[in-house]
Structure formats: structure tokens, C-alpha cells
Amino acid sequence: MSSAARSWSDQELIESALRSFEIKSQDRERACLLFSDYLHLLLSGKKEVASKFGDDPLSNIAYFAKASSFSDLDDVNWKQLTHPGSIIFSALLPFLFSNEVNAKSFLRAVIAGYHGSSLFAQILQPTHSRNWHASATSGIFGAALATANLLELSDDKKAQALHFASAAIGGGSSAPKSQNGASRFTRIHAALMGSMSTLEAAESSPAPLYIVDGPGGLSERFGVVDQLPTIKPVDALHQISIRYFPYSGFSHNALEKLEKHLPLDPDSVKSIELQLSDPLYTLIGSSQKGQWWDLSAAIVNTIVNGDPFDSSTRKMNAEIKVEKIESGPSLAKIYMAGSEISFEFGIQDRVGIDPIDIPRVHRKWSSLYKASSELTEVADQIIDGSDSAVAQLKKLILAAG
């Protein structure tokens, strides 16, 4: 792949990645929300995987990344189509459980990790996701920066960690495009290799010479955009959305719009028409991959159950029509006896600063973990650097599953 024209060097990119920042109260609150969401997913997913929590940090990283992304409800940056949280927090937790780590560095490490993931997602070409899983290729840098900050490495060693991460970057697009849970594996890869990059840097191992520039750099392998990213560390934290419902995130905006019209009498619904533009038609316009990826099934279940949080499958005697449109917003039409409901929806509605719906968040958490309030309190205390809360979390993880 030919190199794109660029206006910065490796060193300038490193300076952007290591940019200093002041943590404000809203940043702390957002980080706490995302961490609590991660922990609920982790303890819920822990019951579904065969791995066990043990003494080996690297094994735990892989285990946490798999468990927290098992239900595919981990947080998402809709603009970049990445899932940073299950990678960043999974890389951090095993180090946090070490007696050698200062828990008060955790919040700064979290913010640095989200910033690093977003920063590197920005520099890759828009066509990048055709061949690569953007969560993995950006997530490895987020994991490296997060763990390097938690271990309080020098800026020189943080930069070295980025050099290692550049060499270890990977994650083919075949995983997310398979729509069968295989992308959990690329999250595991990013969390593990990002952490390994930090450990190698901490030991002053010989690092590859280039990140973007030079033979084998990101420009040669992946292509990069021709502008320097300008996002600040704390901005990245607020670009993240929480996924609420037990369906693909690409269905969420439609279900949020539908929720405003509930309850509906299922027997009165005569037909449902969906007009989907790409990529929604390709992603959620078919039942071939199961109801998780089928928007029409999600809408039917929501109407029948009266709640988008309930994914139990029930039948409804209504005609379903799904149509692909070439342009314009996606549209849902629900025809009933004597009335009609119509609403537009799409990914674009989630791009940018995303206001989190707190009642939906707590409904999600309660469905995942019974002692949700206890876990939320532990997350809150860990964000503030409590060693006792870290010990309590370790006990909760051991007890779950």
C-alpha cells in the first residue's frame, strides 16, 4: 500500500499520544460509568467462559477480554466503530490487582487508554475497516498507553510501548464480518499484545524503529490520513456510547425510537416495513445470523414483550418486509388497524458526544448482575484509587460464575 501524504512524524504522533491533561469531575464520572458497565459485563460473561481467574496476569487479561465481550454489549465509539472498553479495562485489571501498582493511577490510565485507542483509530484510512478490525488495530495502542500509565513508566518508555504495539498490531476484518462472536478473539489479541508492549518497554527490550514512518510502519502497512489528530485525551472518553439492549448495537437507535411508542398491542400490528441503507441492511437486515443480528426480530420481540430489554422469542402474526435503499436515512413503519407508526434511525444518531441514558444503564446492569449496586459502588471507589475496593473486586470476581 502506498504511503499517504502526512504532516507529522512519529515523534509528533507520540507527543499527541502522551499529551498531558487535567482530569475534571465530568471525566471522572464518565470513566466511572464506563468502568462499572465493564464490570457488569465481566461478571456476567465470566459464567459463560471456561477460563478461570488465576495468578498469571497475561492469562487473566485474555480471560477478562473474552468474558467482558462475550455478550457483545461492551461500549462502542460509533464514529470509529470500535469497542475500546473491553480491551482497555481487561489490560488494566490484572496489573491493578498487583501489589506493585498504585491504584490512584487507575483513572489517569483509563483516560490515557481511551485517548490512545481513539487517536490511532483516527490516523488509519477510512477504508481500513474493509480489511482490519478497527477495535483491534486501535485497541492495542489503547491497551499499551493505559498499562504504561498505570505502571507509571517514563515518557520514553511509553513511547517505546507504542513502537512495540505498532509491530504487534493485528486483527483481520473476517472476525467482525463473520457476525458470530469471533471478534472477541481480536479484542483478546489487542488487550494481550498492548500489555505485552508495555512489559517489553518496561524491560528496555529492543523496540522496532518505527510507528508510522519507515519500512514496516503503519503508513506502509495500513495507510494513514493526511492530518494530525487533534482530539484531547478527555474528549475521547465522552465519545463512547453504552449499549443497552440484548441485540446488535446497530439496532439500538431503532429500538430507542420504538420504545417511545410502547406499549403496543401485538395483535393490532398488521405489518412491519423496514427500509435500510447500508451498512445497516448488510448488518441487521437478515435473519441468517440469528435474532441478535436481525432488526425485524428485535422489533417484533420488543413489541410482543413490551420491553427492548427482553430478548425472549415470541411470535406475532404480522407481515415483515425488509427493503434495501440506496440513500437517505433508514426508516421503520409499523402498520396497525387504523394507525401507523413511522420513525427514522441510524448510526449517525450516535456519533459525537453521547448523552448516557442512566435509567437504561441501570436496567441493563440489573439484568446482568444481581448485586448491581454493590458492584457500582466498588467501581466508584476504584476510580478514586481505593486499595480496599480493589481487593473487594478481586473477591467478587473469584466468587462469580
Q: Could you say which of 330, 350, 370 is where a domain stops?
A: 350
Residues 273 and 376 in one domain: no
- Give the number of domains in the chain: 2
Residues 318 and 189 in one domain: no
Residues 176 and 216 in one domain: yes
> Which three-class secondary structure state does DSSP give residue 320?
strand
Residues 390 and 274 in one domain: no
Residue 328 falls within a domain, yes or no?
Answer: yes
Query: Angle formed by the axes of helices 85-96 and 106-123, to 10°?
Result: 150
105: domain CATH number is 1.10.4100.10
Residue type, 309: F
Residues 362 and 315 in one domain: no
Residues 259 and 110 in one domain: no
Residue 313 falls within a domain, yes or no?
Answer: yes
- Whole-prediction pTM: 0.94
In this structure, what C-alpha cell is assigned to residue 270? 398488521
User: Do β-strands 339-345 and 319-325 pair in parallel, antiparallel, or remain unpaired?
Assistant: unpaired
Q: Could you say which of 332, 350, 368 is where a domain stops?
A: 350
Residue 2 falls within a domain, yes or no?
Answer: no
Residues 116 and 160 in one domain: yes
CA distance 314 to 300: 8
291-329 burial: b if 16+ Cβ within 10 Å, else e: bbbbbbbbbbbbbbbebbbebeeeeeebeeebeeeeeee
- C-beta of residue 318 within 8 angstroms of C-beta of residue 270: yes
285: domain CATH number is 3.30.1330
Residues 77 and 46 in one domain: yes
Residue 3 falls within a domain, yes or no?
Answer: no
Residue 90 falls within a domain, yes or no?
Answer: yes
Q: Return the pLDDT at 289.
A: 84
Q: Return the pLDDT at 327.
A: 86
Residues 169 and 257 in one domain: no
Mean pLDDT split into 10-residue runs, the chain, 401 residues: 59 92 96 98 88 86 95 92 96 91 96 96 85 93 98 97 95 87 93 98 95 88 80 92 93 94 94 94 89 94 93 88 93 93 84 79 95 97 97 91 59
Residues 133 and 207 in one domain: yes
Residue type, 94: P
Residue 335 falls within a domain, yes or no?
Answer: yes
Residues 180 and 69 in one domain: yes
Residue-number span of the structural domain to which 67 is assigned:
10-242+356-399
Q: Return the pLDDT at 130.
A: 85
46-65 burial: b if 16+ Cβ within 10 Å, else e: beeeeeebeeeeeebbbbbb
- C-beta of residue 84 within 8 angstroms of C-beta of residue 240: yes
In sequence order, what are the residues at sequence separation of 6 or more whose Cβ sits closer than 8 angstroms to the Cβ of residue 358?
Answer: none
Handedness of CA 279, 293, 133, 238 (dihedral sign): positive
Q: Return the pLDDT at 2.
A: 43
**Radius of gyration over every alpha carbon of the chain, rounded to an integer in angstroms:** 21
Extended beta strands in 210-306, E state: 269-277
Strand partners, 274: 322, 332
Q: Return the pLDDT at 5.
A: 54
Residue 135 falls within a domain, yes or no?
Answer: yes
Residue 5 falls within a domain, yes or no?
Answer: no
Residues 56 and 141 in one domain: yes
DSSP string, 329-397: -EEEEEEETTEEEEEEE-GGGGSSS----HHHHHHHHHHH-TTHHHHHHHHHHHHTT-HHHHHHHHHHH
